[in-house]
Amino acid sequence: MPNARPTIVIVGSLNVDYIASVERLPVAGETVPATHLIRRFGGKGANQAIAAARQGASVSMIGCLGHDAVGQTYRQRLRAEGIATAGVSMAPASPTGTALIAFDRQGENIIIVSAGANGELSPAMVRSRQGAILSARLLLLQLEVPLPAVIEAMKIANRASVPVVLNPSPLRKGFPWGRCALDTVIANSGEAQIIFGLGLRSISAWQRKLSGWRIERIIITRGAKPTLCISANGHMSVPALPVKPMDTVGAGDAFAGAYVARRVESMDELTAIRYANCAGALATLKPGAQEAIPGRAATERALQNIRRET
């Protein structure tokens, strides 16, 4: 019997976040005082896994934690969210990854990441979990773990025609664009323009680049501005949910998780992006990444409010 719920496999990072609240972000060489400091679980891979799980998807995680107390606690946290952790390895010689985050009163942030155990994720570890990828409805990736592991996961998925969604963040040199087929790329406007070397006005140029790089579509998030989706079949602009952000950490991860959760339910592209826009916006209303990620019910309420207003 097939799974009652769709299955998403996520290959990615797991970090412990240390988050400082500041009046304003420092410039180079400047020291600023923090008004608060908290510790939270994060990492783009785990954030997106939790976001998808809270939207009702069945999620399996492939990644690497340190063989330390915080790594054991993190594994338990994932299980509590309903995420399968058989693919999460424990690295004996590296600590769990760490992120240092500062955000200001406007909700803008800067992030410094120490990979730790995330840097131990290898192609062999990914191959050991290829059964999960081959049976998945969708594979979701980011670039916060070593590229060879990301590429291996893409190759496995491509061989089985499993759709691959890539969030190419943080930006990394050396990604083999065009060597593997991608169903969807999700990037913010800055990332998208750096990767593709294009402005946002020439849709035909984007379509040619997507075709050459074997990408079905690109979704470009732009904060409070409408989200753009460009594919060979055309393009659309999807309004964002208007909010007053408190903390933008994890908003993009909430977007990606909600988007893939809706995609594996065979929702149309427009509806999936509308859900994702709402999830991303709601995630900015609380501090922290995972703590702020909304569930399906809250996301649907926000979407219904938009529909009533329009």
Could you give the strand order of the β-sheet that contains 182-188, starting from the edge strand earlier in sequence? Answer: 84-91, 58-66, 7-11, 138-141, 164-166, 182-188, 215-222, 225-231, 234-238
- CA dist 175 and 155 (Å) reads 13
**65 CB-contact burial (10 Å; exposed 0-12 / middle 13-18 / buried 19+):** buried
Residue count (the chain): 310
Sequence-distant (6+) residues with CB within 8 A of 208 are none
Catalytic residues: 253
What is the pairing mode between strands 225-231 and 215-222?
A: antiparallel
Using DSSP, state whether 166 is helix, strand or coil.
Answer: strand
The string of DSSP letters for 168-203 reads --S--TT--TTTS-EEEEEEEHHHHHHHH---SS-H
Could you give the strand order of the β-sheet that contains 97-103, starting from the edge strand earlier in sequence? Answer: 34-42, 15-22, 97-103, 109-114
- CA dist 85 and 120 (Å) reads 17
